[in-house]
Structure 1
Amino acid sequence: MDSCRFRTPLIDALSRRFRVVLASGSPRRKELLDRLGIAYEVIPSGFAEDLDSTQFASAGDYVLENATQKTREVYRRTKDGGPSRPLFVIGADTVVVNASGTILEKPESHADAAATLKAMSGRTNTVHTGVCLLVDDVSSSSGQPRLVTAIESTEVQFGQLDDALVDAYVATGEPMDKAGSYAYQSLACFFVESIRGDYYNVVGFPCARFYQMLRALHEQGAL
C-alpha cells in the first residue's frame, strides 16, 4: 500500500515540517486524505456548530464559517497542549442545498431523512464544502498563523425516486449522519443521474481544490 502513495516534494515537505492535524472525525475525509500520503493525526473539533444559517448571505458563506470555526477551535486547543512542531490544521464542513434554496444538514430523524429525500426526487441539489487551513507561518516572525479558505460547490441531479427505494435506504440508517440525508459514494448511488463538478466534494472533501491550496501555500513560501 505504501508504494501506491504520492511521493511529491510538496507532500514530503508538509509531512516533514509540520504537525498536520485533520479537525474532523469523518471517515470519508480521512480516507481521501490518506490517498495523498500525508502524515497526519485526527483531532475532531469541539465547535458546537450552532451558527444561524439565516444570518449569512449564502450557503457557501455559512459552510465556510462553520469550517473556519472548527479549524480555529482545534488549532487553539492543540496549541494550548504545549510546544510542538509548527501546526497545519485542516478543517472542512459540508451542507446540501435543495432546489428551493433550503440548507439541508443532517436529518433529525428517520422520518425527516425520508421526507428530505422524497422532496429531492427528480430535482437538483447542490453540495457546498468549506475548506479551511490554519497554518503556522514559518516564513514570518509575526507569530500569527496564516488562514487559507475555499468553497467548492457541486450540482447533483437526482432521478425519480419511488417511496419504496427511499424507505429502504432510510431503514439502513446510512442517511442519519449525512448532510442532505444521503451518501453518493454508497447506497445513494442509485439516486443520482448525474453530477456537475467535483465528485469528491459530494463525498465530503474536495481533493483537487485542497491540493491547489497546498500548491499556493508552497509558492508563497509558507511550506
Structure 2
Amino acid sequence: MLSAAQIKHLTSLQLKKYRQKYAEFVIEGGKILAEALQEGVEVKAVIATPAQLDKCRLLAGNIPVLEADEKQMKNISSMSEPPGILAWCSMRKASEMQQPDGWQLALDGIRDPGNLGTIIRTADWFGVRNILLSEDCADIYNPKTLQSSMGSMFRCSIIQGTLTDLLRKANKPVFAAAADGDSMDQLRTASGVLVIGSESHGISEEVKRVCDHSVAIPGDGRTESLNAAVAAGILLYGMVN
C-alpha cells in the first residue's frame, strides 16, 4: 500500500510549483503509460488499484508497482473518474530533448492546457516533433496537457523559454500565422519555423518582429478566428503536403 508520505507527495504533483520543485510529474491510464515506457521516460513507480495490478505488472516490467485502494487513487488522481493506473515519472532534461533540425512549430501564448496537448498531438501526427513554447504557454506537464496529447509529447522535443530568443537561435525562416497573411503555399519549403498564437490575442508584437513571412488560412471571414488547435492542424497539413 502507498504510505501517507507518498500520497501527500503524489497529490502535490497536481500543482506546477511542486512539479518544478521535484522535476517530477504524474501520468494516468494504461495507454499513456505504455507510450511513456516505449519512449524511454523514466518511471519511478506505477500505482494501481487491485483490479489493475496484474495489467500494471505486465506493463511495468522491473519498475516497482505500488497498490492503492480506490479512495487513495481518487486522492492522488487529477481526474474525476480515475482510470486505476497512475505512473510517477521524472521530467526529461532539456539536453535529452534535442532533436535534429527540420520543420519546427512555435506556440505563442497558448495558455489552455487542453489546446496545447491537442496541438502537440497534431504536430506529432504530421511528423513535426520539434516544438518551441513561449514562457506564458501552459505547462507541458499539466495533467490536461498530458491527457490531450495522448503520449505524443514523449516523442517530441519541446523547449519552453523566451520565444524571440528561441526563434533567433533556430536560424531558419520564420512564418507567422496571421489573418492578413499571404498564401499557405509559402510553407512548401524544406524547413522553417511556423508560429501560431492564441485565438484571443494572436502572436505578440515582439514575436511578430522576428518573423520573416506571414501565412493565412483561406476562409470566408465570417468568424473572427479559428481555434488554435484547428488552425495548427490546417497549417501543419499545408506544410507536409
Instruction: Give the TM-score band, short-chain normalised.
Output: under 0.3
TM-score w.r.t. length of structure 1? 0.27
TM-score by length of 2: 0.25
Which structure has the bigger radius of gyration? 2
